[in-house]
Structure 1
Amino acid sequence: MSVITGGKLKLIQAALRLITETRSLTSLGLRELAREAGLNPNTFYRHFKSLDEFGLTVLGYIAEEMKAGVRDLRQMADSSEQASRDTVAFVYHYFHANPAATTVAVRELHGPSPVLRRALESQLEASATEMAEDIIERQLVSDVPPETIHEISRMTIRYILFRAMDYIEKPDQRETIKAETERFINRQFRAAILDGLSESSIQALRHRLP
Structure 2
Amino acid sequence: MASTCQLVWRAAPDATIRRALICTPKYPNGYNVANRIPAVNMIDAPPAPAAPMATGKRQLMDAALRLMSQHQASDALSLRELAREAGLNHNTFYRHFSSLSQLQAELMSEFSAHLREGTRAARARTEGEPSVAKRVVGWLFEFAAQHRALCLVAWRTLHGPPSEGRLQLQRCLHDLRDDMLHEQRAMNLLPPGPDDVWRRMLGLYGRHVFALMVRYLDDATQREALLAEAEELLAVLVAGTQALYPGKTPKA
Q: What is the TM-score with the length of structure 1 in the denominator?
A: 0.82
Q: Give, in angstroms, the shift of residue 197 of structure 1.
A: 4.4
Contact 2:191 2:242 in 1 (8 A): no
Q: Aligned partners of 2:196 and 2:165: how far apart in 1?
A: 27
Alignment deviations for residues 109-158 of structure 1 (CA, whole Å, 9 cap, x no partner): 12234333222222211221122122223322234443333222211111
Alignment deviations for residues 24-69 of structure 1 (CA, whole Å, 9 cap, x no partner): 2332222222222222211110010001111110000111112111
Q: Aligned partners of 1:37 and 1:114: how far apart in 2?
A: 23
**Runs of 4+ in structure 1 displaced over 6 angstroms?**
none
- Higher relative contact order, structure no. (Cα contacts within 8 Å, ≥ 6 residues apart): 2
What residue number does 1:91 align with?
140
What residue number does 2:93 align with?
44
Does residue 147 of the first structure (1) align with residue 196 of the second (2)? yes
Gaps of 5+ in 2: 1-46, 248-252
Counterpart code for 1:60? S
Counterpart code for 2:64? A
**1:73-112 paired onto structure 2 within 5 Å:** 73-77=122-126, 82-112=131-161
What residue number does 2:53 align with?
5
Contact 1:19 1:104 in 2 (8 A): yes
Residue range with higher mean Cα deviation, 22-31 or 40-49: 22-31
Does residue 189 of the first structure (1) align with residue 238 of the second (2)? yes
Q: Aligned partners of 2:196 and 2:185: how far apart in 1?
A: 10
What residue number does 1:68 align with?
117
**1:157-172 paired onto structure 2 within 5 Å:** 157-172=206-221
Gaps of 5+ in 1: 199-210
CA, structure 1 residues 5+154, in 2 after alignment: closer, same or farther (shift >3 Å)? same
Query: Normalized per residue, which structure has more helix?
Result: 1
* Secondary structure of 1:133's aligned partner: helix
Does residue 133 of the first structure (1) align with residue 182 of the second (2)? yes
Q: Aligned partners of 1:4 and 1:59: how far apart in 2?
A: 18
Residue range with higher mean Cα deviation, 35-44 or 17-26: 17-26
Q: Give, in angstroms, the shift of residue 21 of structure 1.
A: 5.0
Residue range with higher mean Cα deviation, 142-151 or 31-40: 142-151
* Secondary structure of 1:101's aligned partner: helix
What residue number does 1:31 align with?
80
Q: CA RMSD in A?
A: 2.3
Does residue 119 of the first structure (1) align with residue 168 of the second (2)? yes
Counterpart code for 2:67? L
Identity %, equivalent residues: 28
